Amino acid sequence: MSSNSEACAPAASADLHQMAAAGRLLAGVVHEINTPLGSILSNAEVIERSLEMLAAMLADPRPQSLERARRLVGTCQSLAAIDRVASERIRAVIRGLKKFARADGEAPRAIDLNQHLRDSLLLARAEFGSRIRVEADFGTLPEVECFPQMLGQVFLNLLVNAAHAIEGEGTIRARTRLEDGVVYVAISDTGRGMTAEERARAFQPGFTTKPIGEGCGMGLAIAREIIEDRHGGTIGCESEFGHGATFHIRIPVRRGTRGPEGPAAPGSRSVTP
């Protein structure tokens, strides 16, 4: 853990965060791609073989092989339909990855935050598949001025953490609301929750409850940096061991006059650890 604490110097934090997020996501993405890929490869073989058989039947047409030929055509048609669905699935995963691939050096933009969160949810599904139910409760929001890719990383990080906290089946809820010029985002899960000690240290760089090699304890520390320092917002969590966890994010709709490297406004830091 000590090496992680050292490595979390602000200069290195963005790179580290990228690596941590990439590593965690990779396993999920591989799973999400391998299933449709398996189908596509298998279908290609079956379609080739069916076409060979059909070609042989056409070379020597007999009335009694007509029914068999029809069945082969039917099989090929249904497999082609599956290939289309499977390819769409792979494309969605890759599109999501591209979107989150590079976050540094981006300029602030006004975006539809609900859509952004929806995209993060889609990508996070790569991590947990159908094991976890996702409930989205989005309020009407104005366009929010923010660093979209950084914010995407925060969402993704919270969602992946939430998924890891849930053993077996469970639910993740994402909620957005507009409150007095501030956008409120809550991400909660029905997972194992945190003990008081874990909760107190959750945002501390290098702190992780994951087994060695699975988490470097940087995700929430950087999430706080992104929300508080870059967006002048707040991030906090509430949780009871055995009863899930909720992360609260608040960011102003219009960013202040501060640039991305500017100091946090006084009092903007969350009181929650």
Nearer to other proteins, 78 or 115 (CB): 78
| Closest C-alpha to 114, from 148, 159, 163 | 148
Q: Which residues pair with 246 in a beta bridge?
A: 188, 238
Nearer to other proteins, 8 or 126 (CB): 126
The CA distance from 188 to 196, in Å, is 17
Shortest CB 75 distance to other proteins, Å: 5
Shortest CB 27 distance to other proteins, Å: 7
Shortest CB 220 distance to other proteins, Å: 24
Q: Cα–chain-centroid distance for residue 78?
A: 31
Question: Which tokens go with 76?
Answer: 């090929």
Nearer to other proteins, 31 or 102 (CB): 31
Shortest CB 91 distance to other proteins, Å: 15
The CA distance from 196 to 119, in Å, is 32
For β-strands 109-111 and 144-146, DSSP reports them as antiparallel
Shortest CB 24 distance to other proteins, Å: 13
Nearer to other proteins, 79 or 227 (CB): 79
The per-residue DSSP string of 131-153 comes to GEEEEEEEPP---EEE-HHHHHH
Shortest CB 133 distance to other proteins, Å: 9
Secondary element (H or E) of residue 193: none
Shortest CB 201 distance to other proteins, Å: 27
Footprint on this chain of other proteins (rule: CB under 8 A): 27, 30-43, 45-46, 49-50, 75, 78-79, 82, 85-86, 129-131, 169
> Sign of torsion, CA 216 219 224 229?
positive
Nearer to other proteins, 36 or 244 (CB): 36
Backbone angles phi, psi at 141, to 5 degrees: -125, 145
For β-strands 170-179 and 132-138, DSSP reports them as parallel
Nearer to other proteins, 82 or 122 (CB): 82
| Closest C-alpha to 21, from 150, 117, 116, 147 | 150
The CA distance from 79 to 93, in Å, is 21
The per-residue DSSP string of 226-242 comes to IIIIITS-EEEEEE-TT
Nearer to other proteins, 38 or 139 (CB): 38
